[in-house]
A and B are shown apart, each in its own frame.
Chain A
């Protein structure tokens, strides 16, 4: 750009334009996220419904009475067209109605009576969802500050003994399956040293401190898993940042090291760190499933695995949708936050 053109822009001050363009990008991302979620819901639905053959028969196995099969079929609307069924399912899901579970229907049909009072999927999921959110929250509260601090320290003292040791430790932690970490923690913190309970029997109405104590071991396991990823990515982001010429410039201006970090590195590091945190919280979703099973934690992950085993399709679908939605939402948050914290986008030309 020639300076003449630059001059022109200098005189043109458009305070509203700044907000507009960021809002526009955010709106675009939001729309894209919603669209993705919509398509994902189709994928989830289609994966289950578009397979050939009689699903009700397959679920109940060869020994089922024709009446039971028929009951399930009509009960779940399997005799209707898939597209219509999808619309109903989605419409219901949007209103919080996720259908009723197969396990219940199955049971009812075998007993031979339909009491009409079945637990809906939504009712089954709601309390467990809250439990899982609690577990994720505790994990995040421990893992995020811990991982970010470690990552920054490793980046500042890179190639030191500390950095190498954390590198080996985090690589090992990433490499271990969640259940291995879980059992090692149980071994050392519950069995050999009886400090924490190894089973997380959570129920309604228990005191917060009790709940926290029972949640601590699964949360610590997840922390180990997530911290390693988060710390390594933070380290990489900060090292990348510290290598940039403006950091060298700040040092060459004689600014003290603390101020270089706080004033020059941090504002620019915010976007990548937020991104890392959100991405890794999304990673928690996978971890939650295994860890909840190990600790018998009554969360949505355990429900999911149980339903998979007994092929309770409506519950599996619903859980899958919830996990996918959480995953998309976190990725979207990462995206939007890094847009908002990018000075180039906040102050466009």
Chain B
């Protein structure tokens, strides 16, 4: 097991480097508290981080400048990932600068406190929204348009089997991948968004109702939700879709799936809305309103809801991610969004076999990863924004 040996030797070397780093630090700075009280684990961490960084830079330089193209192909994805990372970091940074300079005082203040991850998130969400709304104008071709040229390699380079007319190539039956990706933003994101909205309307209103009314309404709804939540979401969705698929096909099945997902997700929203509502209902100002003789409508809409929006907004982001990922998984399994709608999950499933060409023709295999990456990118973005929102609200509490 020479691999294991290399690994162990590398680990030992890093440990030694960490020790040396701390030791030199102590000597050079004259035992400054920073080095004196440094645990070995911390020193090891610094050494490990440095080692990984050096490895990454070295590999990048090799792949970009030193190795012949055939061998560098192996590092195509590594290099692309680094380019993507740098590109997005720079874009996010510029976007934040822009946000700090333009806009109202409030929005400028928001951008000033924003970490880079959150500004990346906001930027990506805006981009996706833009593509989703204007898909019909932005996409060069229709989502179901079939061309004679099938299996065109992405990249638009004729020497590698590409075609400038199809910058990201075409799939097995000759549909333009770029157009389908853009339409996918409309379909996949739009459907997930609508589903989450329905889930919030349903689960949210029932949750607040349960929290305000208590008694048997709360009891029966809560027990029902307990039971429904005892079945994992994806499993339950698959079961219900099986049933639905016996009655409806195509677009009808897509609509059925939306309703099923909304129903399943509304149980989670119910739990949250109820918990948030309960926390507010026990407040003295609610008691004061009740003792004043206010009716239920005033209490729910004027006293409870305004205080519930902030926690629910963060949750909306998380629920959206969950619904979006689950719908993508369903599509990937072939029972989610149905043709003729172009959809990222289905695209990954259809083109997954391209992956195996990665070793000699990396461009070919990028098509399914582009679709899957598009899904991941949006969820990462939403998660970054939500993470920052949660961090902010918890910070304000102190």
Give A residues with C-beta under 8 Å from B: 36-37, 39-40, 43-44, 47-48, 51, 53, 55, 58-59, 153, 157, 161-162, 167-168, 171-172, 174-180, 183-184, 186-188, 191-193, 198, 257, 282, 285-286, 289-290, 293-294, 304-305, 307-309, 311, 313, 316-317, 319-320, 323-324, 327-328, 331
Contact = CB atoms under 8 A, between A and B. Distances in A.
A324 B231 contact: yes
A172 B45 CA distance: 22
Given A175-B376, A179-B348, A180-B373, A289 B235 contact: yes
Give the secondary structure class of B's interface. helix
Contact of B380 (A39, A175, A311): A175
B365 A187 contact: yes
Contact of A180 (B42, B232, B376): B376
Interface of B: 39, 41-42, 45, 49, 74, 77, 117, 226-228, 230-236, 238-243, 245-247, 321, 325, 328-329, 332-335, 345, 348, 352, 355-356, 358-359, 365, 368-369, 372-373, 375-376, 379-380, 382-384, 387
Contact of B246 (A44, A55, A285, A331): A55
Given A171-B383, A290-B333, A324-B230, A47 B239 contact: yes
Given A43-B231, A177-B325, A316 B376 contact: no
A286 B372 contact: no
Given A177-B376, A192-B77, A304-B238, A44 B231 contact: yes
A119 B321 CA distance: 40
Nearest to B324: A177
A191 B235 contact: no
B234 A58 contact: no
Contacts of A36: 226-227, 230
A226 B185 CA distance: 27
Contact of A311 (B245, B325, B373, B375): B245
B231 A323 contact: yes
Given A179-B372, A184-B369, A289-B333, A43 B233 contact: no
Nearest to A283: B232
A259 B243 CA distance: 57
B185 to A, nearest CB: 16
B88 to A, nearest CB: 12
Nearest to A170: B383
A308 B238 contact: yes
- Overall SS of chain A's interface: helix
A313 B239 CA distance: 9
A180 B375 contact: yes
A285 B311 CA distance: 29
18 contacts: A36-B230, A51-B243, A157-B45, A167-B387, A168-B117, A175-B382, A177-B329, A178-B329, A179-B348, A179-B372, A183-B352, A187-B358, A191-B358, A257-B39, A282-B232, A286-B233, A308-B241, A323-B231
Contacts of A172: 376, 380
Contacts of B247: 51, 53, 58
A308 B228 CA distance: 20
Given A58-B247, A183-B355, A308-B242, A328 B333 contact: no
A316 B239 contact: yes
Contacts of B42: 157
A327 B216 CA distance: 27
B158 to A, nearest CB: 25
A172 B325 CA distance: 13
B397 to A, nearest CB: 13
Contact of A58 (B45, B228, B246, B368): B246
Given A191-B359, A316-B242, A171 B380 contact: yes
A40 B226 CA distance: 10
A282 B231 CA distance: 10
B329 A290 contact: yes
B229 to A, nearest CB: 9
Contacts of A285: 232, 235
